[in-house]
Structure 1
Amino acid sequence: MTDQKPPTLELNGSRLFTTWLKNTGVSLVFTTYQAGKVFFIGMQPDGRLSVFERTFERPMGLGTGPGRFWMSSIYQLWRFENFLDPGQMHDAYDAYYVPVSGHTTGDIDIHDIHEDAAGDPIFVATRFNCLATLSHRGSFREIWRPPFIDRLAAEDRCHLNGMAVQDGKPAYVTCLSRTNVFEGWRDKRRDGGVVLDVASGEIIAEGLSMPHSPRLYREKLWMLQAGTGEFGTIDVNTGSFEPICFLPGFARGLVFMGDYAVIGLSRPRNNKTFEGLPLNERLDAEGISAQCAICIVNLLSGDIEHRLEIDGIVEEIYDVALLPGVTRPMALGFRSEEIRLKIKPEALPEATDISH
């Protein structure tokens, strides 16, 4: 009998990747449901890359707010709060995220997550083909669905997966098709994708290949066309897609900082979901293999200026997020005793007097 080597993980930043982190004053978070991990990427005091990970079952969507972030798992939506005050450190980490609340949604396949104006989460409930928020008495509360979906059903009919928000309200969504039958999108992956205007319910762009991660930034609607490996913009008046660059992998997860876009790339799985896509044809034509990485794209030039290459146990990334003003983050999970002991009471306001 031969000894089997344990699974490994290797993360390698391009030459100026850590310099970009330092200059922009951010750290990264990314989820991989394939490996069941959430990773926190920052910088150590000596300038080297800091990598911290926690294990969750099927972590996917990420959303951020002041001093916090949201993360979906297989049947819950978690809210993590930073327990450190400004300037405070814990074992050389300047952010210490604790899962303070978890709402049991059931397995509704939560994708994109954003906060509304009140700081409450709005999310894509992909299995139920709708946008939703948390419910005080139920699993979730539906707030919108595409007009072509006739009822709330756990059938993943159109694979509604992405949401762009404006002023805390849903503005646009992406679907892999406009089908209204159980998993009908699977036969439309190559060119059945659509973008919908939430306010009107109208389709503003169609003929797309597995659109993901729509975002409004600098008065433009940006999007990943994962089936072709392209990152670009949608003209909301004409519906045309204008590519900015080609990405050598299955693109999911998009966030912006200054003149840069941060994008997650995955290696497509060997199953029918990823078969017959233009992306595979482009990779074959270029003579390269799909990559698992986080790419930093210059919005002005379309160049991939920096990259974090990921090899080993992680082959797919679902979502990426930025933590502004954080140099080296960490988080608590549920597999150690530490979560029993990390307690931060919320004090009464100084002006409050409860003696009378």
Structure 2
Amino acid sequence: MGLLKAAVTSHSQRMKQLSSLPHWVLGCLCQGSATNFSTSVFVCTKLADMAVMADRCPTLELQEKWYPRWEANNYFFSGKKMKPGAATAAATTDAPPFVVMLPPPNITGTLHIGHALTVALQDTLVRWQGMRGADVLWVPGCDHAGIATQAVLEKRLLLQKGVTRHQLGRERFLQEAWQWKDAKEARIYEQLRKLGAALDWDRSVFTLDEGMSAAVRSAFIALYEKGLIYRSSRPVHYCPALQSVISDIEVEHLKLEGPTALTVPGHRSPVMFGQMFDIAYPVLSCEDHTRETGQMIIVSTTRPETIPADVAVMVHPSDERYTRLVGRRVANPCRPGQSMPIIADNAADPTLGTDRPAQSVTIL
């Protein structure tokens, strides 16, 4: 009885010591049969004297420890299935290749959460293919993003140095651009390393490298010769500050509730946007479509600059104000001698702008 009491007391003391350990530590150490429970308890009581484990994975410390080792051992380059003693990828075995190009981030800034998602997905595929025995090559790189980078750099120069690219001069501006590129590229590559990306850093590229530029020119010429690239006159977005055409993605759209004065790059004073203009379209005679009858169709628009390209005036077929004019022609107020038909279609909204009846007329 005395021995049993002593055993129970000893067991109770050990359980109190175990209670101070994290649950996941107990789960790892104390699983097993009844025969080795005493040994497990003994190990746990020894660990109870140690510092409490962190409740989160120390990702930064792990990254700083392991990623340099991965790079030093050339884990991330094509040809890692090399014969013993081989110094280059040329001495590889016949392992099937798996090649991926990292979508090159723009040097306009640094990586964001969208980049992290893309890198995580590609990294999963790359490592999986490597585990399957493929000879993996994941190529890193950065994109110069010409117009966007120029815009960011010009804003920076104006804020920090108070100069424009014209005042700075072409050569000085290019020097600033390359310095910007080197700094942003280094930061982006640092972020990719912190993400643990299995990239072959010896093969990193920049979209203005000679090899990349030659490939772009070759592809452009091939597409041109096939008729897939052509030159034509089209409406474009022109930036008065950059003095250049820009793509749709570079345009910032603003929704205005009414006339609003906005500051526009390249203009000393604000420019009024969202202002409605009433434009009179003279109705022409039915006989020769050249003589004005004195009747007018008033059209309200915020885009009077598009009037020279008008090809028709459209009204709703049930709008009694204009049904008698359907089939007639009107003159283009900005192009003397050019006429256009008045047509009817349900696409015209007769209820639009009840305080401005002319808004119910649509220009095509």
TM-score range, shorter chain: under 0.3
Q: TM-score, normalization: structure 2?
A: 0.18
Larger relative contact order, structure 1 or 2 (CA cutoff 8 Å, min sep 6): 1
Structure showing the higher helix proportion among its residues: 2
Larger Cα-atom Rg:
2
